[in-house]
Structure 1
Amino acid sequence: MTPVTPEEAPCVPPPRVPLQRHSVRRQVLDALRCALVSGELAPGEVYSAPVLALRFGVSATPVREAMQQLASEGAVEVVPNRGFRVARRSERELAELAEVRALLEVPVLLTLAAGVTPERWERIRPFADAASSAAATGDRAAYLEADRAFHQAVLALAGNQQLVVIADDLHRRAQWPLPRGGAPRTADLLADAAQHVALLDALAASDLDTVETLAREHFIGG
């Protein structure tokens, strides 16, 4: 895998820089996720654990463990005796994930809109602002993390941790790279972030019709 500059992929540690001993697997997993959403790890390509281990300055073991986690999430596929192939996401798969997310989250949002006070919604505002700021940079990886943080914060108001975990897993599965050339433009990220703000305003106003419309558009569109 060709090394990239920090400007090209700021969330991925530079080659051969040793990671901290604590939580090595977590650091490798986070770095690999960033490389996936940025497109540095390309759909359809096979990567070996030893080669990636050299990049991160660690042994192959934490890389294999991180890749097995990604395999369980559907981001990569195990290729016996070769390594791991980055999975391709078809438009159909993305549409199905969007539909499942809508089925799960829209009813929750409607319930929250009817019962959560405007003051509590204002505590979520910084998450929407952070997503907007990340979108403005054009950094897809940074935006997707901010996007997930916003949705986690909203769903957490339901008080059901299992809901947050399941919804976040679906969200992450929908974030892996699109086919080559399919990465969203900065304008697309800004439009998606603007939906967060509009949705938050509707939730705070207990405008159920607008909440449902915006939420469905958000999931189908993103």
Structure 2
Amino acid sequence: MPTNRQKVYVSLKKDIMNGTLQSGEMIADRPLAEKYKVSRTPVREAIQQLRAEGFLEVEPNIGTRVATVEENRVAVTYELLGRIEQAGVEQLSNAVLGSLIEPLTQLNAEYQQAIDNSQWREAMIIDREFHQVLLRRSPSRYASKFADILRTQLQPTEIRYYQQQFPKKIAAVADHTALIEALNAEKIKKAGRLARRHRMKQARALDAFLE
């Protein structure tokens, strides 16, 4: 049975990953303890673990907040994310590829539908899930973890970008399709390169957007 610390940790991480807690948002143990109906000790332990993992950070003389990234580091962070995703994809085994094609194809179709329906927030969430699914089967236990941290830190910029550029400059569907086709053909190295190239394109687009 999960401990109170584990329950709080899972709930907090989920709220961070789905955007309920926004990057840069301050958190404190007392209101969280009241929310989860536990003592402050398991809340503090969960916060400490999330800080160690990079999802939370300490603002000196202020408190703890959801991790963020400065605008002048956005492009570099996307490039790093691309390298992590490339490494994670290139470690996939042929044995797991078959189980990836269907969910990735379905998510890409849902992404296209969200674009067609001008649902920018849904499109952003689906895009994130697409990349999460891609790395969950990687034998590298760190690839998915580090990618999640970076995506969390990039979230405020992504929200602004999707809000202001959607749908005219959102063109990930074709990139996703090419990646799926490479995986389906068991061209894992090519899929890894495509994953990184996709992130590099996003880095350039966001860099131009922030200028």
Taking structure 2 as the reference length, the TM-score comes to 0.66
Distance 1:90 1:29 in 2: 26
Q: Give the one of 179, 191, 203 matched to 1:211.
A: 191
Q: 1:127 offset after TM fit, Å?
A: 3.2
Name the counterpart of 2:98. Answer: 122
Distance 2:91 2:126 in 1: 30
Q: Classify 1:59/1:151 alpha carbon distance in 2 versus 1 (closer, same or farther; 3 Å).
A: same
Name the counterpart of 2:146. Answer: 170
Number of aligned residue pairs: 189
Name the counterpart of 2:133. Answer: 149
Q: 1:191 offset after TM fit, Å?
A: 5.2
Q: Give the one of 171, 182, 195 matched to 2:160.
A: 182
More displaced stretch, 28-37 vs 164-173? 28-37
Say which structure, 1 or 2, has more relative contact order (CA 8 Å, 6+ apart). 2
Q: Classify 1:145/1:26 alpha carbon distance in 2 versus 1 (closer, same or farther; 3 Å).
A: farther
Pairwise CA RMSD: 3.8
Q: Classify 1:166/1:212 alpha carbon distance in 2 versus 1 (closer, same or farther; 3 Å).
A: closer
SS in 2 for 1:174: helix
5+ residue gaps, structure 1, are 1-20
Q: Classify 1:28/1:99 alpha carbon distance in 2 versus 1 (closer, same or farther; 3 Å).
A: same
Aligned-pair identity (%): 26
Name the counterpart of 1:54. Answer: 34
Distance 1:49 1:198 in 2: 45
5+ residue gaps, structure 2, are 204-211
SS in 1 for 2:78: helix
More displaced stretch, 199-208 vs 73-82? 73-82
> Any residues of structure 2 matched to 1:192-207 within 5 Å, and which?
192=172, 195-206=175-186
